[in-house]
Amino acid sequence: DAGVTQSPTHLIKTRGQQVTLRCSPKSGHDTVSWYQQALGQGPQFIFQYYEEEERQRGNFPDRFSGHQFPNYSSELNVNALLLGDSALYLCASSLGTRRGAYYEQYFGPGTRLTVT
Amino acid sequence: ILNVEQSPQSLHVQEGDSTNFTCSVPSSNFYALHWYRWETAKSPEALFVMTLNGDEKKKGRISATLNTKEGYSYLYIKGSQPEDSATYLCASQGPSGGYNKLIFGAGTRLAVHP
């Protein structure tokens, strides 16, 4: 059973460029969340996709956008890259959400983005 | 904003030592508490999810307790081994900002020396 996979593993971009990161959820999962981990901090929630729609968004600018495909895989897009966007981007998948239910999120290994 | 605080920031112990870390969350805003273990160059691995005051969970030599009234959780490792070296993250899930996201602490980095 494949776990959560992310691509690419590492990426180097220049300020002002755009980047797309990809995530395939764990088999059977239909919900994908994206997190950004900057150095010395815990992962920060960017947004979550469920049924191909953005269900919830964290405190990130509109330069961060995403998409979920019918097969539940997801992309994270970041436009107009800043130096401060350099971080590890983690994708997590889970099995649906319903109000009042907790759920485990399974994480991928992350994509290390460096903006120069 | 719900802040999750973890202490200590880092910890160095000798093989065989028992150790524990703390995760603090505002008790007024809480639904579930998650613990993850994150080894270098790997994916964060879910250890426990706890929701009830007084919950105790155990996996091998690792256990965790939860006190929702006081707003903290403890993670214990009995007889630490070098393979326990990792960053241990806790995350809260609650109504503040929506149930869907996890709010993480900065983690406790554990190094177990042979």
Q: Which two tokens stand for residue B59?
A: 């996996």
Per-residue model confidence as pLDDT tens digits over B40-51:
989 999 999 998
Q: Do B43 and A33 touch (CB under 8 A)?
A: no
**B interface with A, Cβ–Cβ below 8 Å:** 4, 6, 31-32, 34, 36, 41-46, 49, 51, 89, 91, 93, 97-107
Per-residue model confidence as pLDDT tens digits over A68-95:
999 999 999 999 999 999 999 999 998 8
H or E element, residue A77: strand A74-78
Q: Do B98 and A56 touch (CB under 8 A)?
A: yes
Q: Do B101 and A110 touch (CB under 8 A)?
A: no
- Is some CB atom of chain B closer than 8 A to the CB atom of A42? yes
> CA of B85: how far to CAs of B10, B40, B64, B110, B111, in Å?
11, 9, 17, 5, 5
Q: How far apart are CA B103 and CA A80, in angstroms?
A: 26
The predicted structure's pLDDT at residue B10: 96
Q: How far apart are CA A81 and CA A61, in angstroms?
A: 11
Q: How far apart are CA A60 and CA A57, in angstroms?
A: 8
Is the confidence at residue A99, as pLDDT, over 60?
Answer: no
Per-residue model confidence as pLDDT tens digits over B23-34:
998 766 677 899
